[in-house]
Amino acid sequence: MGSSTGRRREGGSDVCNHGCGTVFSITAGGVLTKLHIFDGTDGFSPEAGLIQGTDGKFYGTTYYGGANGVCDHGCGTVFSITAGGVLTTLHSFDFTDGAGPFAGLIQGTNGKFYGTTQNGGASGNCTNGCGTVFSITADGTLTTLHSFDGTDGSYPYAGLIQGTNGKFYGTAYEGGANGDGTVFSITAGGTLTTLHSFDGADGQYPYAGLIQGTDGEFYGTTQLGGASGNCTDGCGTVFTVTAGGTLATLHSFDFTDGAESTAGLVQGTNGTFYGTAYEGGANNDGTVFSLSVGLGPFVETNPAAAKVAANVGILGTNLTGATTVTFNGTSAPNFEVQSNSLILAQVPTGATSGTVQVQLPGGTLSSNLPFIVLK
């Protein structure tokens, strides 16, 4: 098996207080290799995880550090790093184009990377700037797509996701019409639409980002707010919102079942959503919860993009007995059912980007996202 790559927000160099952070790889057997030690000038405090780009490099952000001294400790960076540990600082934020990227990046279908900064930007309506949405190319060309001004949201802690319609979706922790946070969409060209402004009763302070369910709707959580009076400012909610901005509160926590859900949701391949609450529950130490809205099972590919002839994992439930695997209609002659929840398949010659399907005795399971065939 290969190794996994991650980051640590402190430690490493003693230039920063408690260290500036590191990037590391670790094998399945537990052998850890430090790939890079940040020194402040190339970044400080990598809060978010890494993603692997389609070029094989890893991409990430640091909350502080970089070449600009406009912010205390620096305004943060975007970087790439090879599997061998060669780090390149792609961009140092200077506050006017953002500051404090708290979340990680995603790679859009156009090959660019997209992210948010918690602070900075062109608006002076927030003390430290209201935050931004940006894109950046693999060679470091950054574009500020939007500067929040408070009325359309402020302080986007979470990162973005790209919907199946090509737009990007996210949350802002505060701001909006009621000051309680927003859900927004933004095009690759930078046109932002506020889909919903929370009002406390339907949630307050969405700290985490969104996921898109297999029904096409977006799902998320709010830290506070909701219908329960068991918490001073509400115990938080789980919500769904359509691409057009129609929001429904699926659940209001009441402390007995959890409170302050600051993490996002995941959708299991059985169709059910899963998440955590920071506080509450029987022991007031937080909870793990599931929530079903009646969505059916599906399969998920890992990775989500690969070249022809590459081996791809297909995750699901009750996969034993699979008879056919297709990549956008092209049959994969080489696949093997590894377990009840995993199939390994080779991307077949002639495959194009699109839905992966697995034929089972009881029916056909489709992938939740299109699989991208790389050239």
Report yes or no: 198 and 176 within 8 Å, Cβ to Cβ: yes
Quick check: is 76 in a domain?
yes
Band of residue 16 on the pLDDT scale cut at 50, 70, 90: confident
The pair of structure tokens assigned to 204 is: 């307050």
pLDDT average, residue stretch 206-215? 97
Report yes or no: 317 and 341 within 8 Å, Cβ to Cβ: yes
DSSP state letter for 163:
-
What pLDDT, in 10s, does the model give residues 355-368? 999 999 999 999 99
Quick check: is 288 in a domain?
no
Quick check: is 306 in a domain?
yes
Distance CA 318, CA 322 (A): 9
Q: Which of 94, 122, 149 is the last residue of a domain?
A: 94
Give every strand in the sheet of 132-136, ordered side by side: 106-107, 113-117, 132-136, 142-147
CA dihedral in degrees (330, 334, 337, 342; nearest 10)?
Answer: -60
Q: Which of 59, 94, 129 is the last residue of a domain?
A: 94
Residue 4 has pLDDT above 60, yes or no: no
Report yes or no: 70 and 80 within 8 Å, Cβ to Cβ: no
Quick check: is 1 in a domain?
yes
Cβ contacts of 5 within 8 Å, gap of 6 or more? 23, 24, 25, 35, 50, 52, 58, 81, 83
Quick check: is 54 in a domain?
yes
Band of residue 242 on the pLDDT scale cut at 50, 70, 90: very high
pLDDT average, residue stretch 242-250? 98
Q: Which of 48, 67, 94 is the last residue of a domain?
A: 94
pLDDT average, residue stretch 333-349? 97
Quick check: is 361 in a domain?
yes
Residue 7 has pLDDT above 50, yes or no: no
Distance CA 336, CA 343 (A): 6
Domain ranges, residue 359: 300-374
Distance CA 150, CA 182 (A): 10
Query: Which pLDDT belongs to residue 70?
Result: 83
Query: Which pLDDT belongs to residue 72?
Result: 84
Band of residue 1 on the pLDDT scale cut at 50, 70, 90: very low
Report yes or no: 104 and 123 within 8 Å, Cβ to Cβ: no
Quick check: is 68 in a domain?
yes
Query: Which pLDDT belongs to residue 12?
Result: 47
- The CATH number of the domain holding residue 315 is 2.60.40.10
Helix/strand/coil percentages in the chain, nearest 5: 0, 45, 55
Report yes or no: 15 and 39 within 8 Å, Cβ to Cβ: yes
Return the minimum-mean-pLDDT range out of 7-21, 85-99, 164-178: 7-21
Instruction: Please give the share of the chain, as a percent, with pLDDT higher than 90.
Output: 92
Quick check: is 59 in a domain?
yes
Query: Which pLDDT belongs to residue 8?
Result: 44
For the chain, how many structural domains are there in total?
2
Query: Which pLDDT belongs to residue 121?
Result: 97
